[in-house]
Amino acid sequence: MVALSVLMPVVASMGSVAGTQSLAQAIRAIALKQLLAGTRWRMFRPESAINGLNAALCAVVVAAVAPASFGNAALAAVFSLAVVLNLLTGVFALTVIAMGLSPLGVHPALAGGVVLVAVTDAFGFGVFLGLGSWLLL
């Protein structure tokens, strides 16, 4: 389906952008010594809630626009679910990156963005194309 190839980069980029914004919060918390061993998981909850709300709003907009643009309501459902899953994956990856790199002495500002984009792009492409082949073909 051509529509899958058109929408695929959008899924990946939305996860990367959401994760990068959350990574900026984590880097700030590390710089201010607010992201300590006992408080690392506290960051995951509010970021998940914000990105979950963001994903839900994006899913609603796409669910309304995709059927009109592509004439396929199932495509809108696949895209919406992929966006939600990828945004939440971005937040989870950020938490793991911030918690994993910091104790190793590697500042997440140096390597976090590259790792985060790689994770969200790979996951976003995989989940979107997987759902698309499962539900649309």
Q: Could you tell me the residue range of the domain that residue 61 belongs to? A: 9-33+40-135
pLDDT in tens, 8-51: 888 888 888 777 777 777 778 777 877 666 666 676 677 677 77
pTM above the 0.85 mark?
no
**Mean of all residue pLDDT scores within the chain:** 80
Q: Which helix (H) or strand (E) holds 75?
A: helix 73-101
Q: Which of 135, 18, 39 is nearest to 83 (CA)?
A: 18
Q: Name the domain count of the chain.
A: 1
Q: Looking at the domain assignment, is residue 20 inside a domain?
A: yes
Cα 82 to Cα 128: distance, rounded to the nearest angstrom: 5
Residue 105 belongs to domain with CATH number: 1.10.357.20
Q: Which residues contact 98 (CB under 8 A, 6 or more apart)?
A: 23, 26, 27, 29, 30, 35, 40, 43, 108, 112
- Whether the CB-CB separation of 128 and 78 falls below 8 Å is answered with yes
